[in-house]
Amino acid sequence: MKKAGVAILGLGVVGGGTYKILTEKKEFFKKTQGVDITVECALEKNIERAKALGLSDSMIAANIEEVVSNPAVDIVVEVMGGVEPARTFVLKALMSGKSVVTSNKELFAKHWPELEAEAKKMNVGLFFEATCVGGVPIIRVLQESMQANEIKSIMGIINGTTNYILTKMANEGSSYEEALKEAQKLGYAEFNPTADVEGFDATYKLSILSSLAFNTKIYIDNVYREGITGVKAEDIAYGKEMGYTLKLLGIGKNTEKGVEVRVHPTFIKNDNPLASVNDSFNAVHIVGDSVGDIMLYGRGAGSLPTGSAIVSDIIFAAKHAEYFYSCFDNSEKGAKATRFVSDFKSKYYLRLIVKDAAGVLSEFTGVFAKNGISIEQVKQIAGKGGSAEVVIVTHDSKESAITKTLKKLAGMDIIKAIGGCIRIEE
């Protein structure tokens, strides 16, 4: 029976869940996978937390050198989060001939080329299933199950915090601020929620997923990013009346003109499978040229779901003597040959607050026509105090044309405010 010794860097929510699975299912893994996995040590500042999980004093490492010099450790699991000291610790583990399993999407998205280069040099494994979509096995599907396909698109709800907030706003009419407070109370959102609500977390994940999907290095700088902090409950309500559901989506498309990669609030039709993915759940929809549509759904975060993905990588590393690396040019120069589409096309939902007067509608719709934007729907809502709201849905339009139109509208006397601008995917 194959044996593997594991060290865990960080025993927080995810690290604790990983330790729990490895220890409680040790005999199960022997029976079903033919591997004997032992947690040899852990690096954790909070000694009481480590002891509460059941670690003895001898298992609690004082520093990273103690971990990487331990001959019983074959696999180092990094679940610390952040870039430093995680990057330094992972590099030390790789340089010491240890395979690494990580759930750190920020570290991986920003330093994947450097980490993989060291893993190749030392002929060790670098595994990252848990960096994207929690317990959903998306990485291995892209790496090992989609070889027969050129992937045309990958689109999904890849951040549970924002999905919970938007679900709360849609179902209960809560404001963004109210929904965020509830998410923080339940532990879905951090005290400082910026990484989630401003779309950084989803951007890191889309960078990783789209790189694998399209076989080219997609850096986070290539991803258009827009968070949900500007989303208003009234826009969600108006969208619902028109048959739309609002989600923060990570969208990657491999088109003839180039690769589109973007993260932003998006209206989708109510009958889209992603529209029914609520609360903290995640889902990813993939389109391959041979297989067609595939959708993966599950919990995108949490101690045991994410721990499940980490343990999957640990078992894979323990059972395979040969390691696999990127099939594309995963280097600092890797993305230079790839064309990116920044002026992408989509439908747009716009909400304008205008003067409630005769002739106003024809005056501002003329601006749309001058910029080559055709209008699919117009809905006027009676307002108060001499104002009215106008909701517009355009046909497919270029991002640049919408930007130019909004700039022109903002300078018109008849326009009191631009209440909302949301892209639509159908």
pLDDT tens digits for 124-138? 999 999 999 999 999
Instruction: Examine the pLDDT at 242 and tell me if it is beyond 90.
Output: yes
pLDDT band at 363 (very low <50, low <70, confident <90, very high): confident
DSSP, res 57:
G
- As to burial, measured by CB atoms within 10 angstroms (0-12 exposed, 13-18 middle, 19+ buried), residue 114 is middle
**238 alpha-carbon distance from chain centroid:** 26
pLDDT at residue 244, as a whole number = 97
pLDDT at residue 324, as a whole number = 86
Pairing verdict, β 281-288 and 151-157:
antiparallel
Q: What's the CA gap between 146 and 302, in Å, rounded?
A: 27
Q: What's the CA gap between 170 and 265, in Å, rounded?
A: 13
What is the CATH number assigned to the segment(s) 2-134+307-319? Answer: 3.40.50.720
pLDDT at residue 322, as a whole number = 87
Q: Which of 98, 205, 217, 347 is catalytic?
A: 205
| Cβ–Cβ under 8 Å, residues 178 and 229 | no
Q: What's the CA gap between 239 and 5, in Å, rounded?
A: 53
Q: The tokens of 27 are what?
A: 């005999």
| Cβ–Cβ under 8 Å, residues 99 and 76 | yes
Domain boundaries along the sequence of the chain: 2-134+307-319, 142-299, 345-425
Query: Rounded to the nearest 5°, which phi and psi values hold at 51?
Result: -70, -35
Q: Give the residue carrying structure tokens 């929809």.
A: 285
pLDDT at residue 183, as a whole number = 92
Q: Give the residue carrying structure tokens 């001959």.
A: 71
Instruction: Name the percent of the chain lying above pLDDT 90.
Output: 88
Question: Looking at this protein, which amino acid is placed at residue 338?
Answer: T
A 10 A CB-CB count for 97 gives 12
pLDDT tens digits for 324-340? 899 888 887 767 778 99
pLDDT at residue 300, as a whole number = 87
Q: The tokens of 116 are what?
A: 């993989």
Bridge partner residues of 100 (DSSP): 76, 126
What is the CATH number assigned to the segment(s) 142-299? Answer: 3.30.360.10
Bridge partner residues of 36 (DSSP): 3
Q: Give the residue carrying structure tokens 């109510």.
A: 270
Question: Looking at this protein, which amino acid is placed at residue 221?
Answer: D
Give the Å distances, CA to CA, from 229 to 199, 234, 346, 391, 420.
10, 14, 21, 20, 12
pLDDT tens digits for 149-190? 999 999 999 999 999 999 999 999 999 999 999 999 988 888
Q: Give the residue carrying structure tokens 């109370």.
A: 185
| pTM given for the model | 0.95
From 115-129, 295-309, 371-385, the region with the lowest mean pLDDT = 371-385
What lies within 8 Å, CB to CB, of 159 at 6+ separation is 196, 199, 201, 202, 205, 248, 282, 300
Q: What's the CA gap between 111 and 327, in Å, rounded?
A: 17
Q: Which of 238, 268, 254, 270 is nearest to 156 (CA)?
A: 268
Q: What's the CA gap between 67 and 43, in Å, rounded?
A: 8
| Cβ–Cβ under 8 Å, residues 172 and 165 | no
pLDDT tens digits for 393-412? 999 999 999 999 999 999 99
Q: Do domains 2-134+307-319 and 142-299 have the same CATH topology?
A: no
SS3 169: helix
Instruction: Examine the pLDDT at 15 and tell me if it is beyond 80.
Output: yes
Q: Give the residue carrying structure tokens 């080559």.
A: 372
Q: What's the CA gap between 423 and 32, in Å, rounded?
A: 47
Instruction: Examine the pLDDT at 32 and tell me if it is beyond 90.
Output: yes
What is the CATH number assigned to the segment(s) 345-425? Answer: 3.30.70.260
Q: Is 253 a catalytic residue?
A: no
Q: What's the CA gap between 254 and 152, in Å, rounded?
A: 5
Q: What's the CA gap between 109 and 122, in Å, rounded?
A: 21
Q: What's the CA gap between 65 and 316, in Å, rounded?
A: 25
What lies within 8 Å, CB to CB, of 192 at 6+ separation is none
pLDDT tens digits for 246-271? 999 999 999 999 999 999 999 999 99
